[in-house]
Structure 1
Amino acid sequence: MKIIQIKKNDEIKELNLPNNIMTAGFFDGVHLGHQELIKKSRNIADNLSLPLIVMTFWPYPKQFYTEVPTPYPVLTTQNDKYEIFDQLGVDMVIEIEFNSQIQKMEPQIFVDKYIKAAHVTKFIAGLDFTYGKKDIANMDLLPNYARGDFSVEKVPFTQLNGTKVSSSKIRSEILKGNFQSAKKLLGRSYITKGKVVTGEQIGRTLGFPTANVENDDDYLIPKDGVYFTKVQLDENEFWGITSVGNKPTYNGNRKYIETYILDFNHNIYGKELNIEWVYFERPQKKFESEKELIQEIKNDELNVRRYIQTK
């Protein structure tokens, strides 16, 4: 799969792309709905003997439609998405650098610059795909902007047990700690990735050494609390207890993601951990003493081992 990044002053027309089938969106999470859209597009491309191109954007366009643009936590990084796109048979990804210029662009200019210029034969997207100024031009209007240069196909929303599959619904479930619901909508477990960095060593002094995990990629992190997780390190997988929060017992003032890996005690600073979020155990608590905190961690460990036995 080929990946092409289009920066602010780049022109798609200069790529001289072959005729193709294109689908587009941000695809955060690449959930079941996104997967169905890409599979449908792949089938159409195969029937017409044309390559399939996915047009996507970075940074997240939503952050440009707020009063003060701010980073938006994501379900999947660009690299995560591209791995899944590749598995789904996408031939090429065109990543558009989203900026205020695109945000203010007239819909016709957007269509001419990014779709027509890519030599698209058929454009396929979900009902909620929007483009151009004010983010209001939609799939119903796209045939007008296409002016006969390409055809348009709208794909209905995917539903699961009567629930619309959407990134916003998945976000809501993750923030509530409902990981099994999120898993069904995603089609896989929710996983975040981060590098292990030096922390305050509090867990080690308590007898429970933890991996302090950075979130440089701005993954959506569940609400503060204690979770049962699976940790993937290199080729190995371990169960763990992951704490999210500001260490209230120690009056902390910043959020940490710390994982106590069961039956494991090795130096892994600088390593990347994949954290699979499995079960919300309890909220964060402030304890009156370290003795109480240690006892609670022991209870957490006992509970996670019981939980493992049920799996």
Structure 2
Amino acid sequence: MLVHLGLPSSPIGAVAVTVGSFDGVHLGHADVIRRTVAAAATAGARPALITFEPHPRCVLDPANCPQSITTLQEKLALVESCGIEHAIVLRFDRELAALSPDEFVERLSAVMDVKRWVIGFDFAFGRERRGSAEWLRAHGHTVDVVPPFQVEGVDLHSRDVRRLITGGEVHEANRLLGREYAMAGPVEAGDRVGRRLGFPTANIGIEPNKLVPALGAYAGRARAPEGEFIAALSVGYRPTFGGTQLRVEAFLLDFEGDLYQQRLELRFVRYLHPDIRFPSPDDLVRQLKKDVEDTRRIVLR
């Protein structure tokens, strides 16, 4: 997949294109992308996807800027796995928001020959959201409108996934994503409290604006350079030790080695319990042992 930061610097030829934020690349997004790939094959074109960074709401309504289910890097990897050949990342700012539908389409037409648009049922673009499927058709474009993707009779939206993750219901969020929710980052130096307790953990750096699950313990997995491991995950402040810094950390089961400064991907399978302040370190250790047992049982079943 070719990634274009901004409009392509030279024409990319005939495409079937879809446009949107695609935050989370959930099952509904995957459906739109699959249809785009199929439309491109029918039209003798290449499948292309246009997305925005940052999320448009962060510019148009900063007070309600959503945290990102997927970072840009994660989003691009996911859309590539769905078959997109050209990913175009447009910086969303006031200037882009002010373009009329005519101006937006004119800019695209200068660098691609859009054979077919594949868009969601609520798609709108251009200043004051004046552009729509009807507008595109009235201006001679071929448009496929994808109906709402439903899970158990309910339309799926990225906000539903965010709500579930921030509420700790990661197993339900995973159903809507079609995969396990993940966070990734470099392993940072910690205060080695876990090692002193017999449970050495790896703390990962949290990427800016990345959605963090509810505070608590989770059963999960970790992908390290050495392979994939079952992992007891924790999101919290280490209240037993008076911590004040939010940490996302993992105890990798059946792992020995040093992960410092290596990139680690953590995947959340199921919420176990809240972030608890224990009366003593011994009480914490007893809970950690139980968390490890529960994690192994949940992940392996």
TM-score normalised over the length of structure 2: 0.90
Runs of 4+ in 1 over 6 A off after TM superposition: none
1:200 aligns with 2:191: yes
Match of 1:87 in 2: 81
CA drift at 1:68? 5.3
- Superposed counterparts of 1:174-213, under 5 Å: 174-213=165-204
Bigger shift: 222-231 or 157-166? 157-166
Counterpart CA distance in 2 for 1:176 and 1:141 is 38
1:296 aligns with 2:291: no
- Superposed counterparts of 1:212-223, under 5 Å: 212-216=203-207, 218-223=209-214
1:32 aligns with 2:27: yes
- Superposed counterparts of 1:137-156, under 5 Å: 137-143=130-136, 147-148=139-140, 150-156=141-147
The superposition leaves residues 2-61 of structure 1 with CA deviations (integer Å, 9 ceiling, x where unpaired) of 22111xxxx65x623323221111111211111111111222221121122111111222
* CA-based RMSD: 2.3
Structure 1 contact 142–152 (Cα < 8 Å) conserved: no
Taking only the aligned residue pairs, the percentage that are identical comes to 29
Q: For residue 34 of structure 1, what is the amino acid of its counterpart?
A: H
Match of 2:68 in 1: 74
TM-score normalised over the length of structure 1: 0.88
Paired residue secondary structure (2:264): strand
Counterpart CA distance in 1 for 2:64 and 2:25 is 24
Match of 1:233 in 2: 224
CA drift at 1:305? 3.6
Structure 1 contact 170–185 (Cα < 8 Å) conserved: yes
Structure 2 contact 168–215 (Cα < 8 Å) conserved: no
Structure 2 contact 54–92 (Cα < 8 Å) conserved: yes
CA drift at 1:113? 2.4
Paired residue secondary structure (1:220): coil
Counterpart CA distance in 2 for 1:88 and 1:303 is 34
The superposition leaves residues 155-198 of structure 1 with CA deviations (integer Å, 9 ceiling, x where unpaired) of 11111221222211111222222223222211222222111010
Structure 2 contact 219–299 (Cα < 8 Å) conserved: no
Name which of 43, 53, 69 aligns with 2:38: 43
Counterpart CA distance in 2 for 1:47 and 1:140 is 20
Unaligned runs of 5+ in 2: none
Q: For residue 62 of structure 1, what is the amino acid of its counterpart?
A: R
1:267 aligns with 2:258: yes
Match of 2:164 in 1: 173
Name which of 107, 118, 135 aligns with 1:124: 118
Structure 2 contact 180–268 (Cα < 8 Å) conserved: yes
Name which of 210, 225, 234 aligns with 1:243: 234
Check 1:23–1:116 CA distance in 2 against 1; reply closer, same or farther (3 A cut). Answer: farther
Counterpart CA distance in 2 for 1:108 and 1:138 is 8
CA drift at 1:217? 5.3
Bigger shift: 221-230 or 115-124? 115-124
Aligned residues: 301
Paired residue secondary structure (1:15): coil
